[in-house]
Structure 1
Amino acid sequence: MEVFDEIQAYLPFLIPLIGLQVLLSLTALIMLIRQNQVRYMNKLLWALIIVLFNLIGPILYFVLEKRT
């Protein structure tokens, strides 16, 4: 029971962070789907990177595939 109490103490901090992470990933995936052509890799590989590397993947996508 101590583990659940400890997790419950961190929930007010974890829930917004998880929400931001989901929003970041969804935004990156939606932008990837809408983009006609990507520069560095194909769309399937980008989608896997965004989903599997939760924090780093979307950030890498936004930095590397930013259109000017």
Structure 2
Amino acid sequence: MQLNIQEYIPILIPLIILQIGLAIYAVVDVFKHPHYKFGNRVFWVIICAFISFLGPIIYFAFGKGED
């Protein structure tokens, strides 16, 4: 059975765009937001930028503090 990547491109492109967009949005929010529930700015930038889909979701669910 041979894997043909061209069959998966219509599914992969929107997922890649979503992943990149979510990571960019989360990193921008980290730089704009002054308070975090735990951790610091560097910690959250690393989490959001390098842990695929879960990093930004973890930040918005657990890391973002009150304004």
TM-score for both structures, normalised by structure 1: 0.84
Residues 10-48 of structure 1, C-alpha deviations (whole Å, 9 max, x = no match)? 000000010011111011001000011222001001111
Runs of 4+ aligned residues of structure 1 deviating over 3 Å after TM superposition are none
Residues 27 and 45 of structure 2 are in contact (CA less than 8 Å); yes or no, is this contact kept in structure 1? yes
The answer to whether 1:28 aligns with 2:21 is no
Identity %: 32
Q: How many residues align?
A: 65
Residues 23 and 56 of structure 2 are in contact (CA less than 8 Å); yes or no, is this contact kept in structure 1? yes
Residue 40 of structure 2 corresponds to: 42
* Structure 2: runs of 5 or more not aligned: none
User: Per residue, is there more helix in 1 or in 2?
Assistant: 1
Greater RCO (CA < 8 Å, at least 6 residues apart): 2
* Structure 1: runs of 5 or more not aligned: none
